C-alpha cells in the first residue's frame, strides 16, 4: 500500500525534527521550525524555516538531508537569517 504524500511528509518532518533536534529545543526559540502546508491536498509541502545567524549553512544541511530522503526541494531566501527549504514528494 502506497502512502499519501501528506503521510510521507509527516514522516519526513519527524525525521528532520529528530536529525536537527539540537536546533529545536523545547521552551526556547526554535532555530528550525517545521510546517506542512496542505492547502493543495494533492501536492502538500513541508516547509522548514531556518531563523538564525548563518541560516544558509544549516539550510544546506537540511536540504541535503531532505534530498537524500527522496524529496524535491526549493529554497526561499528572505534574508541572511531567514531561509526556508520547501520539500515535496510524489
Q: Show me where the domains of the chain are located.
A: 5-88
pLDDT computed for residue 36 by the predictor: 96
C-alpha cell at 1: 500500500
Band (pLDDT 50/70/90 cuts) for residue 1 is: low
Per-residue pLDDT of 2-60, as tens digits, reads 889 999 999 999 999 999 998 887 777 789 999 999 998 888 999 999 999 889 999 99
Find, among 66, 67, 6, the residue nearest to 41 by Cα: 6
- CB burial of 4-33 (b: ≥16 within 10 Å; e: otherwise) equals ebbebbbebbeebeeebeebeeeeeebbbe
pTM for this entry: 0.90
Q: Give the DSSP letter of residue 68.
A: H
Options 3.90.1070, 3.90.320, 3.40.50, 1.10.3470; which CATH number does 5-88 get? 3.90.1070
Amino acid at each position: 500500500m502506497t502512502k499519501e504524500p501528506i503521510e510521507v511528509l509527516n514522516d519526513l518532518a519527524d525525521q528532520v525534527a529528530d536529525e536537527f533536534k539540537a536546533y529545536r529545543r523545547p521552551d526556547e526559540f526554535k532555530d528550525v521550525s517545521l510546517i506542512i502546508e496542505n492547502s493543495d491536498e494533492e501536492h502538500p509541502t513541508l516547509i522548514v524555516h531556518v531563523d538564525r545567524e548563518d541560516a544558509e549553512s544549516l539550510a544546506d544541511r537540511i536540504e541535503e538531508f531532505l534530498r537524500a530522503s527522496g524529496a524535491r526541494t526549493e529554497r526561499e531566501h528572505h534574508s541572511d537569517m531567514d531561509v526556508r527549504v520547501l520539500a515535496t514528494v510524489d
